[in-house]
């Protein structure tokens, strides 16, 4: 669904308010709140763009569980969520994905 259509649907909805848009780690998040309880939901712009209003409304109203993928890895010796990591652990993961395993000072091929 288009972002403009999502915003229009939220504005017309009696039980939901679009509060603000924030950016975290290069991803834009839309913050939607319930006026009666002041509780809410944060949803990414790509999630809005990749789903239909009927599904998003059900999730935002708590009638359906959101389906999402959480990136986990075993770089730290056990499975953990990458989203919980600090910057140095993200850098370690990026290095491992590149395959930069050379020892300090470089390496050379022996014959």
Q: Which of 11-15, 42-46, 77-81, 107-111 has the highest mean pLDDT?
A: 11-15
Residue 104 has pLDDT above 60, yes or no: no
Residue 33 has pLDDT above 60, yes or no: yes
- The pTM of this model reads 0.56
Reduced 3-state DSSP string for the chain: CCHHHHHHHHHHCCCCEEEEEEEECCEEEEEEECCCCCCEEEEEHHHHHCCCHHHHHHHHCCCCCCCCCCCEECCCCCCEEHHHCCHHHHHHHHHHHHCCCCCCCCCCCCC
Q: Which residue has the higher pLDDT, 18 or 105?
A: 18
């Amino acid at each position: 669904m288009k972002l403009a259509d999502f915003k229009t649907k939220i504005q017309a909805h009696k039980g939901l308010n679009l509060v603000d848009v924030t950016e975290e780690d290069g991803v834009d998040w839309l913050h939607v709140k319930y006026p009666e309880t002041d509780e809410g939901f944060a949803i990414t712009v790509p999630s809005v763009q990749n789903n239909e209003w009927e599904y998003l409304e059900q999730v935002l109203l708590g009638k359906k569980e959101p389906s999402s993928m959480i990136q986990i890895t075993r770089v730290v010796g056990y499975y953990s969520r990458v989203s919980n990591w600090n910057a140095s652990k993200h850098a370690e993961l990026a290095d491992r994905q590149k395959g930069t395993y050379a020892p300090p000072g470089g390496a050379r091929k022996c014959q």
